[in-house]
Amino acid sequence: MEKNIIKRVFTDLLESYGLQGWWPVYSLRCTEGRDSRGYYNQVLTYYSYSEELSPLSRFEIAIGSVLTQNTAWTNVERALENLESAGLLDPDAVIDVPISILSEALRPSGYYNQKAKKLKILAAFLLEGNYLKMGNAPERKDLLNLWGVGKETADSILLYAYDVPVFVVDAYTKRIFTRLKILTGSEEYDEIAEIFINGLGKDSALFKEYHALIVKHAKEYCRKNPVCGSCVLKELCSFYDIIE
């Protein structure tokens, strides 16, 4: 076993896919390049880590974290576009708008009735605590107390909107690292996060990039039905032998 297999996997993924630059912030998108359907050719501009996030960008990352729950990102983009068109990429507007209007805008992202309720609760929390200001990150436990915010969503908000060095664990993380036999598959969320933090040190920029690379790799190769033949991690992966 490698001395630090966690770092090794990151290096291999980064070398293969390049920087992902998450979080994709819709409101920072390019204003040019709409195609004939009115969609953006390059829908999202990825903010760079050196860039200071505005309160509205921070809000957008927070609601995007909720909207992407068990949902394809392309569908989240449609919902974000609806929100923007309706002037709802704004916490005050989300709080004030009738929930029926909000849920209709969210329809493309699925679970729209639940998500409308979640966004109203989250917007109220962020606004009342003055949490959209940089340097005033909410406590993880307070995020977790919100209806509709679980560990992955809370950590996603903390990492990508507030630069807090927490590691985001999702279904892809469990799938990839269980196949690599770095996890057994029975570990709990916080235990998995700790494994990554211990292996990497508390480095928020690294955590952002690593999680993004995990998503990229799981979508392209380490799918439910994996495409092992040209996988960059196959030398490290016992799962490859089974498939072959």
Partner DNA sequence: TCCCAGGGGCCGA
Partner DNA sequence: TCGGCCCATGGG
Residues that bind DNA (CB under 7 A): 22-24, 64-65, 68-75, 78, 107-115, 146-154, 156, 160, 170-172, 215, 218-219, 223-225
Q: How far apart are the C-alpha atoms of 102 and 79, rounded to whole Å?
A: 10
Q: How far apart are the C-alpha atoms of 192 and 2, rounded to whole Å?
A: 18
Q: Name every residue whose Cβ is closer than 8 Å to that of residue 34 and which is 6 or more positions away in sequence.
A: 40, 41
Q: How far is the CB of 71 from DNA (least distance, A)?
A: 5
Give me the numbers of helices (H) and strands (E) for the chain, helices first please: 12, 2
Residue with token string 């700790």? 194
Which residue, 78 or 234, has its beta carbon nearer to DNA?
Answer: 78
Helix (H/G/I), strand (E/B), else coil: 242: helix
**Under a CB-based contact definition with an 8 Å cutoff, are residues 126 and 138 in contact?**
yes
Tokens matching residue 144: 């977790």
Q: How far is the CB of 101 from DNA (least distance, A)?
A: 15
Q: How far is the CB of 200 from DNA (least distance, A)?
A: 18
Which residue, 106 or 132, has its beta carbon nearer to DNA?
Answer: 106
Which residue, 4 or 113, has its beta carbon nearer to DNA?
Answer: 113
Q: How far is the CB of 175 from DNA (least distance, A)?
A: 7
Which residue, 33 or 150, has its beta carbon nearer to DNA?
Answer: 150
